Amino acid sequence: MAPRPLSPLVLALGGAAAVLGSVLFILWKTYFGSGRERRWDGGEAWWGAEPAGLPQWDEWDPEDEEDVEPALEELEQREVLVLGLDGSGKSTFLRVLAGKPPLEGHIPTWGFNSVRLPTRNFEVDLLEIGGSQNLRFYWKEFVNEVDVLVFMMVASAARLRLPWARQELHKLLDKDPDLPVVVVANKQDLSEAMSMVELQQELGLQAVDSQREVFLLAASIAPAGTSFENPGTVHIWKLLLELLS
């Protein structure tokens, strides 16, 4: 039997999907690519939805003022992709790192969020892409553009959504065999949360090449004041810095 031709609706939806994926990619590159000539204070971060809050480069004339602090050297950039099914805590993770207050209720991400964090030796750009089914299609387009992948999941709901999480995770693992991956089992403080041994088995991580950098970390990520103080969050951040160095 000859294959049926694609309907105009399917073709239109496919074209719209391609356009959306391209727009997401262009926006990300525009935001992250335009920040190399900015001067950053140690405690400042950029939440992607608030471009007006970006610290600006200080313009000065050395002939007008002798005691002016010299311009800081340009820092190299490192890029981290934060993915996971919807409701896994990706946005909260970024807000914690950025020192932002918690959001009221669960607001799914449609599109992407981003945060830029300066360190002593480089700037870390973290990009979150929404985890709804219609956005997962675009995940693979970004994998080859980053230095580390963070894949988040809810440990307490893993039994219900584990097949989808495992499928999406292994798609990403196959996309770039050399990319370091940090799998975060979030909400470990809940009584129904799966153990780390169970998660490792159910996610099929024991079958991953032993030479590959894949880490499984437990966390209970929640905003805490103006900085990230949760031990799980600190552990994740320290591991990211080690992988990016």
Q: What is the pLDDT of residues 202-241, one digit of tens each?
A: 889 988 887 789 999 988 876 554 445 667 788 899 999 9
pLDDT, residue 106, reads 62
Report the distance separating Cα 209 and Cα 198, nearest Å: 19
Judge whether 147 is annotated as a binding position: no
Judge whether 140 is annotated as a binding position: no
CATH 1.25.40.340 fits 8-51+73-244, yes or no: no
pLDDT, residue 57, reads 30
**Which of the pair, 85 or 39, is modelled with greater confidence?**
85
Judge whether 233 is annotated as a binding position: no
SS (H, E, C) the chain: CCCCCCCHHHHHHHHHHHHHHHHHHHHHHHHHHCCCCCCCCCCCCEECCCHHHCCCCCCCCCCCCCCCCCCCCCCEEEEEEEEECCCCCHHHHHHHHHCCCCCCCCCCCCCEEEEEEECCCEEEEEEEECCCHHHHCCCHHHHCCCCEEEEEEEHHHHHHHHHHHHHHHHHHHHHCCCCCEEEEEECCCCCCCCCHHHHHHHCCHHHCCCCCCEEEEECCCCCCCCCCCCHHHHHHHHHHHHHHC
Judge whether 58 is annotated as a binding position: no
Judge whether 87 is annotated as a binding position: yes
Domain extent listing, the chain: 8-51+73-244
Judge whether 131 is annotated as a binding position: yes
Judge whether 33 is annotated as a binding position: no
Judge whether 88 is annotated as a binding position: yes
User: Which of 2-6, 31-35, 196-200 has the least mean pLDDT?
Assistant: 2-6
Judge whether 86 is annotated as a binding position: yes
Tens digits of residue pLDDT in 159-215: 678 889 999 999 999 999 999 999 999 888 777 788 888 888 888 998 888 778 999
Judge whether 188 is annotated as a binding position: yes
Judge whether 85 is annotated as a binding position: yes
pTM above 0.85, yes or no: no
Tens digits of residue pLDDT in 42-78: 333 333 333 323 233 333 343 444 554 544 567 899 9
Judge whether 84 is annotated as a binding position: yes
The closest of 217, 216, 220 to 229, measured between CA atoms, is 220
